[in-house]
């Protein structure tokens, strides 16, 4: 999935969830823009990088760097995943 902010790269998806039910949450983030979106209640594809819900802060930071700014949790599930994002000054 390419980054919605431009053609500089692709976003990464990281999952947190239950390995049994394969239902959890996802963080979709761009390593170049350092912006991410938190998505709740997603199905986790087999083989995807996944952390358990009781993972430590260090494990979470290793997966998604603390410098990545996450937009607020999705409160409108009917909205499409891709949404307008702020223009980065000087980009
Ligand atoms: Zn980007």
What local confidence, expressed as pLDDT, does residue 82 receive? 62
Centroid of ligand 1 to alpha carbon of 21 (angstroms): 31
As beta bridge partners, residue 8 has none
Domain segments of the chain as ranges? 12-70
* This prediction's pTM: 0.69
Query: For residue range 6-57, what is the model confidence (pLDDT) as tens digits?
Result: 888 889 999 999 888 999 999 999 999 999 988 889 999 998 889 998 999 9
Q: 87 CA distance to ligand 1 centroid (A)? A: 11
Ligand 1 centroid distance, CA of 29 (Å)? 8
Q: How far is the CA of 34 from the centre of ligand 1 (A)?
A: 7
63: enclosing H helix or E strand: helix 57-63
DSSP collapsed to 3 states, 18-49: CCCCCEEEEEEEECCCCEEEEEEEEECCCCCC
pLDDT-derived band at 58 (thresholds 50, 70, 90) equals very high
Q: How far is the CA of 15 from the centre of ligand 1 (A)?
A: 19
């Amino acid at each position: 999935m390419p980054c919605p902010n431009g053609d500089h790269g692709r976003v990464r998806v990281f999952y947190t969830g239950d390995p049994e039910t394969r239902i959890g949450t996802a963080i979709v983030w761009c390593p170049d823009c350092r912006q991410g979106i938190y998505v709740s209640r997603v199905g986790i594809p087999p083989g995807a990088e996944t952390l358990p819900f009781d993972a430590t802060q260090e494990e979470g930071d290793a997966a998604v760097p603390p410098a990545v700014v996450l937009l607020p949790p999705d409160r409108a599930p009917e909205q499409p995943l891709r949404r307008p994002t702020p223009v980065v000054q000087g980009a």
